[in-house]
Amino acid sequence: MAQIANTFETYDAVGNREELSDTIHMITPEETPAISLIGRMSVATTHPEWQTDTMRTPVTTNNVPEGNDWSFDATTPTTRIGNYTQISEDTFIISASQEKTDKAGRKSEVAHETAKAGVELRTDIEVTVLSNQASSAGTGNGATNRTSAGMRAWLTTNDSLGAGGGASGSFSNGIQSAATNGTQRPFTKALFDDVILSTYNAGGNPDVLMTSPYVKTVFSRILDDADVVPLRKAVSNGQATIVAAADTYLSDFGLITVVPNRQMARAGATVARNAFLIDPKMASVGYFRDIKVNTPAKTGDSEKRVLNAEWTLVMKNEAAHGVVADLYGLSASS
């Protein structure tokens, strides 16, 4: 039907009130499963160090004659390693007028941005902990900054590498270098099993596999492998449920929980390309200075805030963990 002439519409009106919800809807992931898993500890310097040790390989020839005149083996000293703390920060500045203005969804712009910056700072630490970043002692006068070596850089004993990939260089002069990335490839059960076996033989007992969300979907498809006991449906109250996912893996050496980490995907392919087999007891985030909200001196008609923290990854013994490296971490081709 046609509209009657001279009908006064909302398009013509002046003074209709706007409607703006008092809720701010944000779905950006806030969780930090890696740093939550390995926990935290306090460190007392910008270069915390620790020691590792190993026992010699067992032999089947340990027999001596009666009246043996002893000789003494050389004693191997412990290995002294360490990491450097890095300072991470998030900043913002809000005009005094904006802070005073009546706003929808939040009473204080400063409070809202402070909470948001705190989450952003934690997620930065999360992805850096899992990264292939090398450690650095930094240099004076701000020429270069201290950096903490990430988990990928530390893992050298139990690393499954793509073609052309290389383990990180040996720990030398207080510095842990980054690994060399190889050609990306799909995640497979065979690659996973190889790293589990290597880690077990090295003495580790990891019970978590942390992956990007895409690699988690690939992991679930190992149900299709011929040597996996199939599980296709569960029946409850007469309703059938199709089971197309797997969250745990009973390996030959123990039960492993698979934890997808959305921050790995958000950080991009450089982090998402690695799946980490983790023993939570053998790593920790060391805080030299915990996350703190700083209020700089006022120099204008505004409110300034700086959130910062000084932290490092304490890799107690890298041989306790493993990595299936150089994977397609975001899609079947990236």
Query: Would 169 be classed as within a structural domain?
Result: yes
Query: Would 275 be classed as within a structural domain?
Result: yes
Find all residues with CB under 8 Å of 254, minimum gap 6, and list them. Answer: 205, 207
Q: Which of 246, 254, 262, 245 is nearest to 279 (CA)?
A: 254
Separation of CA 299 from chain center: 38
Query: Which range of residues forms the domain containing residue 220?
Result: 33-48+79-324
Which residue type, as a one-letter code, is found at position 100?
A: K
**DSSP letter, residue 141:** G
Contact 205, 254 (CB under 8 A): yes
Place of tokens 């390995």: 38
Query: Would 42 be classed as within a structural domain?
Result: yes
Find all residues with CB under 8 Å of 264, minimum gap 6, and list them. Answer: 127, 130, 210, 211, 212, 213, 271, 272, 329
Indicate the SS3 state at residue 303.
strand
Query: Would 141 be classed as within a structural domain?
Result: yes
**What is d(CA 188, CA 245) in angstroms, rounded to the nearest whole number?**
15
**What is d(CA 4, CA 9) in angstroms, rounded to the nearest whole number?**
11
pLDDT in the model for residue 247? 87
pLDDT in the model for residue 13? 81
Query: Would 62 be classed as within a structural domain?
Result: no
**What is d(CA 148, CA 86) in angstroms, rounded to the nearest whole number?**
6
Count other Cβ atoms within 10 Å, centred on residue 220: 15
pLDDT in the model for residue 117? 92
Query: Would 209 be classed as within a structural domain?
Result: yes
Strand pairing of 283-294 and 302-315?
A: antiparallel
pLDDT in the model for residue 173? 80
Number of domain units in the chain = 1
Find all residues with CB under 8 Å of 171, minimum gap 6, and list them. Answer: 79, 81
∠ CA 307-310-312, rounded to 5°: 140
**DSSP letter, residue 133:** P
Q: What is the pLDDT along the chain (334 residues), one digit of tens a residue?
A: 788 787 778 788 877 777 666 666 666 778 999 999 999 999 999 999 999 999 989 999 999 999 999 999 999 999 999 999 999 999 999 999 998 898 888 889 999 999 999 999 999 999 999 999 999 999 988 899 999 999 999 999 999 999 999 876 667 888 899 999 999 999 999 999 999 999 999 999 999 999 999 999 999 888 666 666 655 555 556 666 666 677 889 999 999 999 999 999 999 999 999 999 999 999 999 999 999 999 999 999 999 999 999 999 999 999 999 999 999 999 999 9
pTM comes to: 0.88
Q: Which of 93, 15, 80, 90 is nearest to 49 (CA)?
A: 80
Query: Would 332 be classed as within a structural domain?
Result: no
Query: Would 21 be classed as within a structural domain?
Result: no
